[in-house]
Structure 1
Amino acid sequence: MRWQALSSTDAKLEVMAKSRSVQAPFTLVVGGDAFLNAQCMHDLRNAACANRPDAELIELDASDCDAYAFDEAVGPSLLSESSIVVMTHLERADDRLGAAMEAYCKQNNGNGEQASLVICQHEGGQKGKRLLDKLVKAGADRQNIPDLKKFDAKINFVYAMMERNGRRIEAAAAQQLVNVLGDDTGELAAMCNQLCFDFDENPIGLDTANTYLTANPQVTGFLVADRAVEGRTADAIIAMRSAVEQGISPIALIGALALKLRMIAKAAAIKSGSISQAEAKASPWQIRAASRQLSGWTSQGLGRCIEALADADEQSKSSGGDPVFALESAIELLGVKGRQAR
């Protein structure tokens, strides 16, 4: 399988067939998200082994590999006429090893069927960039891995994972997965696979996704915040108290509530023209969702709610305070959009 960014402006990921033939004698897997980088290396190695079952698999680390060890690895041996050499940490290769690799790449460019295959992993960055450029000039196939830093790129990664399993997922469920697990692509991929394995529904909905996420404080915080903003104050307080009884810290819930208010404040600022969407540093989906919840909010109301959450945060961090009561008061104020009682 190969992950590939479709363009600089399009964060979608294309999932290539697992059985992709590895024809180039020399392949470079460069940078990007660490999980996708490792996944691409894994899939290329498996494809190479499947295409050349008689070849010897040799794994090397450029950190402690020298030119002689590389030449030995790519040359014929008693076990096989050719080999599959998997090299990690290419950015740490010394000059002599780099020169040996460049010479091999030049010599075997175009001889994919006869030559030993070399698959190299580079973590990205400037270190080792000159060697990368030399190897590409010598004929190596460079595969740049996307970094998945943007929210929309992570959403598209979830869609791609579901497609890989022959499944679909609702937008709200995909967004929830990214909200909670988006900082760890490996966990995000594992959750997508687990949901597809455990549930038959297609598309997978938000309630199903939350089945495995309810123990996460951020999910509970989003749930509490959504119910409060919708005016379902009693439901929000019940959900909050239930979470606290299950061991979720009030501070974690306060953080999720504060994030909800910040998004509403950013949506209001964009609507008024005070800031641009780029300056808000939030995904278009987050701004759209917050914009739908703007009705009834005022600057004063937002300010009061933020102050109430700050008070709850202080109560949580000081001895003798009552953080649950302070959090409940903040939820009640949020439920009426910060309006003061008359």
Structure 2
Amino acid sequence: MAAAGGKTKIVQLTFDEARPSPVVLISGPEQFLADRASRAIREALHRVDPALEVHDIDATSYGSGELFTVASPSLFADPRIIRVEGVEKASDAFIEDAKRYLSEPADGATLVLRHAGGQRGKSLLDAVRGAPGQAAGATEVVCAELKKDAERLGFAQGEFRRLGAQVSPGAVRALVAAYGGSLGELAGAIEQLVTDVGLRLNESDIERVTEGRVEAGAFKVADAATAGRAADALVLLRHALSTGTDPIPMLAALNMKVRGMARVYGAVGSSGQLAKDLGMAPWQVERALKETRGWRESDLARCIDLAAETEWLLKGGTRDPNYALERYVLFVARKGRER
């Protein structure tokens, strides 16, 4: 696809669409996705010709002429992939050589440029993305950070599909909650799960392997609170805090559910249509609609305000962050009603 404004002429792909072309720009800060894309390109080329030559260049310490040396055909004219890391910190020599290379890419060579972000090398990126890059048959693989809950859920679902596994929506959500850190850790956990448990997984399977993780405990508290089980939520919260769990992940888990409730509150339509309109999965919509039952609009608005206040308190605004978090959890569990 073309980028907004018509300035970008290059074909843009997601990490799981990565494929060989004479020049491939892998852009964006998410290194795990970038590594996955680079590996996919290399494997695709290797399947076509096992004699593939692999050359790695560090753009930060690049010496003039190095690119043209490795791009030159060997005696047997074997295909070549040239992987360049650190383009966002590239030397002036590399930027100049790469721009020259774009005007006449080497036959049988695939140039993969990795740029993690920033302004360094912008003139090279513009050249790749503009008319010269398009003439060279360039593509761009965009590897942005997956920050939103829906994006991480989508990534996890894609990983299970890639491995041929079937997993319930609740199980995916529980796993993503338990592995809130790097995508690499999440992907590794999914692969290990499928290897150990099999191709059909449910919430019980996920709970067994994630028990004890901070994020998993946080979502147990959040689930109890939004279900209106105040006593259970309080017991789970106090247990988690007593075992050294940081209050911040607990708050983040509850806030994720509260945000979903606020988005669907008062919305009309099928779960499928609302999911499309709100950028959520249908099961997320159904769950959030269920959790908003019994809430008044004014109390839900106050809950959003209390979430921000509690975050401030937990980040230094009080000497007793545990009490502040307990107060917020009870407010949610009681649907904003004092008892």
Shared fold per TM-score greater than 0.5: yes
Task: Note the 1:189-338 alignment, pairs <5 A.
Answer: 189-200=187-198, 202=200, 204-268=201-265, 283=280, 286-299=284-297, 301-302=299-300, 310=309, 314=313, 318-319=318-319, 321=320, 323=322, 327-328=325-326, 330-338=328-336
- CA RMSD, aligned part only? 4.1
Structure label with greater radius of gyration: 1
Deviation at 1:198, TM superposition (A): 1.9
Q: Which residue of 1 aligns with 2:32?
A: 35
Deviation at 1:169, TM superposition (A): 1.6
Higher helix share: 2
Q: SS state of the match for residue 231, structure 1? A: coil
Task: Note the 1:29-178 alignment, pairs <5 A.
Answer: 29-32=25-28, 33-77=30-74, 81-82=77-78, 83-90=80-87, 92=90, 94=92, 96-105=96-105, 108=107, 115-123=108-116, 127=122, 128-132=124-128, 133-145=130-142, 147=144, 148=146, 151-178=149-176
Deviation at 1:16, TM superposition (A): 6.8
Deviation at 1:38, TM superposition (A): 1.8
Q: SS state of the match for residue 292, structure 1? A: helix
Determine if contact 2:81/2:110 at 8 Å carries over to the other structure. yes
State the alpha-carbon separation in 2 of the partners of residues 149 and 328 from structure 1. 27
Q: Cα–Cα, structure 1 residues 13 and 27, in superposed 2: closer, same or farther, change >3 Å?
A: closer
Q: Cα–Cα, structure 1 residues 153 and 118, in superposed 2: closer, same or farther, change >3 Å?
A: same
Q: Deviations over 1:211-252 (max 9, x none)?
A: 344434343232212213323233222222221232113444
TM value normalised by structure 1: 0.71
Determine if contact 1:66/1:96 at 8 Å carries over to the other structure. no
Identity %: 24
Determine if contact 1:312/1:323 at 8 Å carries over to the other structure. no
State the alpha-carbon separation in 2 of the partners of residues 237 and 39 from structure 1. 42
Which residue type is aligned with residue 163 of structure 1?
R
Unpaired segments ≥5 residues, structure 2: 5-12, 269-273
TM value normalised by structure 2: 0.72
Deviation at 1:151, TM superposition (A): 4.4
Unpaired segments ≥5 residues, structure 1: 109-114, 272-276
Please, which moves more after superposition, 137-146 or 66-75? 137-146
Deviation at 1:15, TM superposition (A): 5.2
Determine if contact 1:267/1:291 at 8 Å carries over to the other structure. yes
